[in-house]
Chain A
Amino acid sequence: MMKKLDRSTVGFWTVAILFVVLVQVLISTGILSNFWSTLLKLGAVMAIVSLGLNLIYGFNGQFSLGQFGFYAIGAYASADVTYRWVQLHTANGLVVLTMAVTLVGLALLLFSNLLGRIRGLDTLSSFGLYLIGVIAAAYAAIKLSQPLIAPVTNLLASMPENVALNVVFFIAVLISGILAAEISYLFGLPVLTLGSDYFGIATLGFTIIVKVLLDNSDTIMGFEEMKGARGMVGIPKVTTWIWVAVALLIVIAIVRNLLHSSHGRALISVREDEIAAKAMGIDVAQQKIFTFVLGSLFAGIAGALYAHINGFLHPNTFNFIKAFDPMIVVVFGGLGGVTGNVFAAFAWALILEGFLRIWLPQGFETWRFVVYPILLLLMMLLRPSGIFGSFEVPFIKRALPPLPASLTGESTNAQNGAKGG
C-alpha cells in the first residue's frame, strides 16, 4: 500500500493534515472562539452524515430520507453509554451495548448464511426470521453481559479519569455506528426491495418512527436518563476537533478507496441501470444492502460524535424536516461528488449558523431561514449539478488508467477483421 505514493495522494494528505493542525492551533490559542470551533465540528459531522447519504443516493441511486434516523440512533446510543459512565459511574451501558452489537452482528451473519441457501423464501418471512434471531441475540446479550459489568467498571475506574472517559467515548462511537448499521440492515432487507420513490417514503417513515420513539424514550422505552421530549442533558462534551477531523478523514479515505475499486463500480452500476447490472452478474440486492449499511454506519458514527459536541440532545434535532439537511447538503455539493459534498457540509454549517447570524442585522437572526432557502433556490437554478459540479480533487478523482504499451501502437489484425466500417 505504501509502495507507490503518487503526488495526488501525498498532496491530499499533506493539505488535509496541515488544515486539521492549523485549526487545532487556532482553537488552542483562542483565536477561533468556542462558537466557531463548534460550527467547524458540526460541519465535519455533517460531512460524515452526508457522505454516507451520498453513497446511498448519489452513487447507489436509492433515494433515502432515513439518514437522520440512523444519525439519531447513533447519537442517543452513544450518549446513553457515556452518560451512564460519567453520571452513574457504571459501565453497564458500555458492556451491554458492546455485547448486544457483537451478538446481533453474529446472529445477522449466521442468518444471512443460512437463509441465503433457501431458495424462494419471500422477503417478509425472511425478515421475520431475522427479527426473531436478533431479538434472541439481544436478550442473550443482556443476560450474558451482567457478570461482566462489575469487572469492566473496576478496570475503567482504575485508569486516570480523562483516559477512561475517552476510552468509553471511543468505544461508544464505534458500537453506536455498528448498532445503526445493524438496524439499517434489518430495516433495509424488506424495504430495499421497493422501487426508489417508495423506498424514499419508507425511509421517511423510519425517521419519523425513530423521532417518536425518542420523544417517549423515558416512558415507552424505559431509558429514564434520555428524558424523552424534554431533551437529554448531562452528556460529557468530549468531541474535540481532532476527533471529528480524524473520523472525517478516515471516512473520506474509505469512500474514496471503495469508489476506486471493483466494488465501487458495482454499486454505481446499480444507479446506472439495474437490469443491465443484473445481466452483468452483479447481485443488485446485495449491493443495495451493502451501500445502505455502510451509509448508515457513517450516520451512526456521526451521530455519536454530534451527541458529545454540545452535551445536549433533543428529539426535535432529528425530526423529519431536519432529515432533509443531509439531502440538501448532498444535492448542494453535487450528487455523486465527494469533494463538493465535504465542502458543502462545511459551508452549510458555517453559513447557516455562522455568517448569516453575523451578517443579518440584530433582531433579524431568524431571517436566515428565509435567506438560506433563497440561496438554495438560486443555486438550483444557476448550478443544478452542485457547486462543484463534477469537479474532484485529484486524490479522489477516478483517474483513467493509461492504455498498456501493447495497445498504444498499431491496431492488430483482429480488429481489422472484426470491423468493416
Chain B
Amino acid sequence: MAESSKSSSNEIVLDVAALCKNFGGLSAVKDFDLTINKGELAGLIGPNGAGKTTAFNLITGIYAPTSGNITFRGDSLTGLSPFEITKLGIARTFQNIRLFPSLTVLDNVRIAYHAHAGYGLMDAFLHTPKYQVKEKELTERAQEFLAVFNLHTRQGEIAKNLPYGEQRRLEIARALAANPYLLLLDEPAAGMNPNEIASLMDLIHFIRDRFDLTILLIEHQMRVVMGICEHITVMDFGEVIAHGNPDEIQNNQRVVEAYLGRGSAELVKKLSKERTNVA
C-alpha cells in the first residue's frame, strides 16, 4: 500500500491489533487495526461518531479496551493508567481544549515537566539547594520551550484568557513538554479559520522535524488531512474501512460512500471517468 511513501527507518512505534470497545450493547470500536512507523505523520478520519476519539482514548488509557492489544515500541499498554502511558512517551491534545485554565501559561508547561522535576517532597518542603537548582533549571527549560512556540512573552498570562489559536498552540506545546515519542492530536484544527489552519499545518510539520516525532492526528477538515498526512486510516461505525495514502483514500469507494452516502460512489466514478474522457 503506502509504505513506499515513508523513507525513514521502519521501526514500528504503535501497533494496535483487533482493538474492541463496547459500551453496553454498543460497539464503539470494533476490530480496529493500526500500525504507525517511526517519523510518520498519520491521520485518522471518519464521519461523526465513527469512533475516532474513542480509539484515541483507548490508546491513551482513558478507557480500558474490551479486547485487543496495543503495543507501543514493544511494550503492551493494556492495563496501564493514562499517566503511566504518558511517561512511556505518548502525549495528546484534546478535541475541546483542556488546558489548566486558571494557571499561567508558564505553569501549564511546567506541570508537564513534573515527572522529570528531579527533586523529592522533602526538597519541596524545605526548599533545599537541590530544589533551588532543579527548579531554576526546569523553569528555564519551560521558558525556552515556550519561546519555540513564540509564547514566551505571554508566560504570565492566565491560560483561559489567551485567544483560541494560542490556546491550541499552548496545548500542543504542553503535550510536547511531556517529552513524547508519539504525539496524538485530536482535531487540532477544530474551530479555526483558514489562516489559523494554515499556520497550524506549518506548526505540525515544524514540530515533527524539530522534535523527531511520530504524529497521529484525528481531523474532520479534509484540507488538513489531505495536506499533511502521509498515511490515512478511515473509520466508519467503529471499523476501519480503508488504509492508504491520500490519493488512494480519495478514490476509495467505501470512503466516498461513508462520507457521501451509498450510490454516490458510482456517481463520483462516472464523473471522474467523464473528466478523463474529456481530457
Question: How distant is B88 from chain A, measured CB to nearest CB, in Å?
Answer: 9
Whether A373 sits at the interface, judged by CB under 8 Å, is no
Cβ contact within 8 Å between A282 and B111: yes
B252 at the interface (CB under 8 A from A): no
Among the 9-residue stretches B13-21, B124-132, B220-228, B229-237, the one with 4 or more Cβ atoms under 8 Å from chain A is B124-132
Bin chain B's interface residue count: 35 or more
User: Does A260 interact with chain B (Cβ within 8 Å)?
Assistant: yes
Give CA–CA (A406, B126) in the complex, Å. Answer: 30
Task: Output the least CB separation between B26 and chain A (Å).
Answer: 22
Whether B9 sits at the interface, judged by CB under 8 Å, is no
Within 8 A of B (CB), among A268-292: 268-269, 272-273, 275-284
At the interface, yes or no: B174 with Cβ under 8 Å from chain A? yes
A406 to B128, CA, bound (A): 27
Inter-subunit contact B126/A257 (CB<8 Å): yes
A414 and B148 in contact (CB under 8 A), knowing A257-B124, A262-B110, A280-B174? Answer: yes
Q: How far is the CA of A284 from the CA of B83 in the complex (A)?
A: 8
How many A residues face the partner with a CB closer than 8 A? 44
List B contacts of A275 (CB < 8 A).
Answer: 62, 82, 94, 98
Contacts of B94 in A (CB 8 A): 275-276, 279
Instruction: Say yes or no for B266: interface residue by CB 8 A criterion.
Output: no
Among A278, A282, A403, A420, contact of B155 (Cβ-Cβ < 8 Å): A403
Q: Find the B residue at minimum CB distance from A256.
A: B127
Task: Tally the A-B contacts, defined by beta carbons under 8 Å.
Answer: 163
**With the chains together, A119 CA to B198 CA distance in Å?**
44
Give every chain A residue within 8 A of B123 (Cβ-Cβ).
261
Query: Are B126 and A273 touching (Cβ within 8 A)?
Result: no
Within 8 A of B (CB), among A152-193: none
Q: Does A273 lie within 8 Å of B113, measured CB to CB?
A: no
Decide: A404 near B144, CB < 8 A? Known: A273-B99, A275-B98: yes
B53 at the interface (CB under 8 A from A): no
Asked if A254 contacts B202 (CB within 8 A), the reply is: no
Asked if A407 and B86 sit within 8 Å, CB to CB, the answer is no
Task: Verify B98–A276 contact, CB threshold 8 A.
Answer: yes
A sample of 10 inter-chain contacts (CB < 8 A) reads: A257-B127, A272-B100, A272-B102, A273-B100, A277-B83, A277-B111, A279-B94, A284-B83, A400-B104, A419-B150
Chain A residues within CB distance 8 Å of chain B? 1, 3-4, 119-120, 254, 257-258, 260-266, 268-269, 272-273, 275-284, 400-401, 403-404, 406-407, 411-412, 414-415, 417-421
Given contacts A275-B82, A278-B83, A421-B195, 7 further A-B contacts (CB under 8 A): A261-B123, A262-B124, A278-B82, A279-B82, A279-B83, A415-B147, A418-B202
5 smallest beta-carbon distances between A and B, as pairs: A261-B124, A272-B100, A420-B199, A262-B117, A281-B86
